[in-house]
Structure 1
């Protein structure tokens, strides 16, 4: 295969060039503003180049990457989310000129490169390389908590140990799958002649467990609230959004549209029910908004898996809308948190800190309420159509148990989402509360954009999903 014939998505080239430019700039003279600017421009250019590629895949050869409607959609979500997270980090990194922070945008851009490589992957090799690039960058980003250094280091160590364990399980399953099929391309393993059928089942289960760790589904979820609480708020948003999109994209690519072996359907049923109920029950007990959002993201993965396990004509559009709804709503919550939380309590962004926000910052409180209502599946946000679509796919495939878990989890979610709105509507305890918030132009603009997407997407969801549907 010649270099001219090698297929490579253009966003990977753009992100790699941006990383090299950032490294060259750091070697010349350190500047966090320049690093953030290069990172933001790189991600916007990569976003504009999502549908472009270099070279072609020769007939009969195994390509490392693939490009279609699904990869274009999920790559756009990854790059858009990463650009939003850079904006969330801007003022916090530039406020203290004495604190070195040039590595932060470099690690964030590196993590975005890994996530984008996972999205475009068509075989085990680029997927695992992208997965480890994301993991390595996140270890540094999680520890980048200058307000609570020890808590950040503790969270980074937890992530290092559990991420390494899950990667080892995933790699072992991939090795077994390669031994069975002799191919590195994504496909559930089918034993060749003379191979024991049980080995294919073991390989599939190990790959599932490895991906479930990364998706933080129950019972592989306990690391997520601790790691997100210890990380800086923008990094917590990266874990909750970008890493989840990348691994779920690969999950769908690998297993197709709900084409798991029949023997594993019962296991997946149990995992989905435990994930929805467990994530919502954990969220009910949280007093930290960051931990609540972590538990909420666990439950939303369970809702997505219902749509995954319900193939049919509705499935592509439902998964598309749900990913958009989850992405913009979660980013919106974290953007408001970054704008309104200059200093966090020892236990994270305590929900009680948000008392009186409707009186001190009515726009931010309104935006936060719309994001939370969207996550709860209440109009006018796009989350209503997302959750309704998941229910529709479950009804079409008669997933009665999963629908019961969906309804029960949604009721529990409604309680803790509305509780945050109730706290924000309380009158501020003292006049000093009014000075506890800060407003930044870039964060205000970001919140406005995300709020518009949530509301307009709720009014016209078809305009979002139509460009990315197959065919």
Structure 2
């Protein structure tokens, strides 16, 4: 009989307390300044408590949550990203006097709570509750774009319907998994005596389909360009970064509890190839920078899944570095978009509006170019090192088809990223987005900080990554003859020869 111990990670307690405090403050007196301050303070306190365990689970004791270095690392990425996104939203919320906006930081905090709950989950119950808290918060956040109400309402409705369908599929799979294993704790279902072989296969397939929907992996990807385009720029960044980190972290956690069934290997290989090529090909057709970033995020999900399916000495380091590179580079792009957003009808997301940016605002144009090059995997950004790690992990496991998809996808991605840079270098023919640096010092500062992280991470990967490495943790999927080392060991393999 398994003993149970009450254990709740500190960040969850802080985020829950902050959310309740914000609810009380809104009920007492509506003040966007107070709500933003409570939200920022809560996120900072949760970040400070990430590496502190309120209680210590004993060996052999089953809990709803697990707090290890993998959970701490991904939680830190989520909290830092939420802080940046709150910073992107700060000024617009303070100056939008025509609409009450207290609910925005509340929904952002709730979404962060849901994402963090997923990261720490070792059980289907807190995982699904966290997923639904995140999803419901996103529905409200996407619809909260008051100046583009028709587009935001349509995007919110699309997300509501498709998210509900994917959650139903996922919940059905969880029910089948419980029928097969008799446990709600994470463990890929396998056939046992008295259980039909088809039930574990159906359970694993439906759970994976539900996760692929949330990750926007091909062929379950069509919702994300429309939803991100209808949302405001900070909310689009939240969808592209925070939700992806939480769901991918849960995928890793789920399969760390057991071996992946052989048929899922072939299925995931096909999904990864389609995701990399499909995301990059879709991005070629986009004229909106937000839609381009949405399609780009689909391709980056494929790269992450590629590392996930390549267990070995380099797998852990590849996943850790790629998550950091994708987070910093994507937030950097959205911070520049926010800094250049117009006060009029345009919001700065049309690529055509960026003509001549190198001539009118060279500082921000250089930052945008560095971020796009990092996403493309071009030096000196950290994205080059991250993509190199993905390729090295795949070479180690001889994933030839995945390597071919990575090379082809990277070439396609380089074209549309460079096309944006070419547009910024084209002499100004049409009026570009209005921008006043004195009005947006915090956005310019945030973009500069992210640029420094991206460049330092690309030039000195060991010095930036090693201090924040989560270790030890086993990244999977595992097989009978493959055991991944802890992340610190993996990173020594990864950076020993190429770090300056």
Determine if the TM-score, normalized by the shorter chain, exceeds 0.5: yes
Deviates most, 91-100 or 272-281: 91-100
> What is the CA–CA distance in structure 1 between the aligned matches of 2:464 and 2:69, rounded to whole Å?
13
CA contact (8 A) 1:316 1:469 kept: no
- Match of residue 275 from structure 2: 275
Unaligned runs of 5+ in 1: none
Matched, 1:408 2:420: no
> What is the CA–CA distance in structure 2 between the aligned matches of 1:437 and 1:198, rounded to whole Å?
61
Inter-CA distance 276–342: structure 2 relative to 1 (3 Å threshold): same
Inter-CA distance 279–245: structure 2 relative to 1 (3 Å threshold): same
- Match of residue 333 from structure 1: 333
State the shift of 1:79 in Å: 0.3
- Match of residue 261 from structure 1: 261
Deviates most, 248-257 or 7-16: 248-257
> What is the CA–CA distance in structure 1 between the aligned matches of 2:220 and 2:345, rounded to whole Å?
27
Aligned CA-pair RMSD: 1.8
Matched, 1:211 2:221: no
State the shift of 1:34 in Å: 1.3
> What is the CA–CA distance in structure 2 between the aligned matches of 1:418 and 1:394, rounded to whole Å?
26
> What is the CA–CA distance in structure 1 between the aligned matches of 2:344 and 2:423, rounded to whole Å?
17
State the shift of 1:358 in Å: 1.1
TM-score (norm 1): 0.96
CA contact (8 A) 1:374 1:384 kept: yes
- Match of residue 176 from structure 2: 176
Unaligned runs of 5+ in 2: 473-485, 487-500
- Match of residue 296 from structure 1: 296
- Match of residue 92 from structure 1: 92
State the shift of 1:436 in Å: 5.0
CA contact (8 A) 2:10 2:50 kept: yes
Inter-CA distance 459–21: structure 2 relative to 1 (3 Å threshold): same
Give per-residue Cα distances to partners, 1:119-150, cap 9 Å, x unaligned. Answer: 00001010000000001100000001112101
Matches within 5 A, 1:410-429: 410-429=410-429
TM-score (norm 2): 0.91
> What is the CA–CA distance in structure 1 between the aligned matches of 2:358 and 2:316, rounded to whole Å?
38
- Match of residue 444 from structure 2: 444
Alignment coverage as a number of residue pairs: 468
Deviates most, 248-257 or 440-449: 248-257
Q: Determine helix, strand or coil for the equivalent of 2:208.
A: helix
State the shift of 1:44 in Å: 1.1
Inter-CA distance 188–435: structure 2 relative to 1 (3 Å threshold): closer
Matches within 5 A, 1:237-248: 237-248=237-248
State the shift of 1:257 in Å: 9.6
> What is the CA–CA distance in structure 1 between the aligned matches of 2:435 and 2:385, rounded to whole Å?
36
Deviates most, 19-28 or 399-408: 19-28
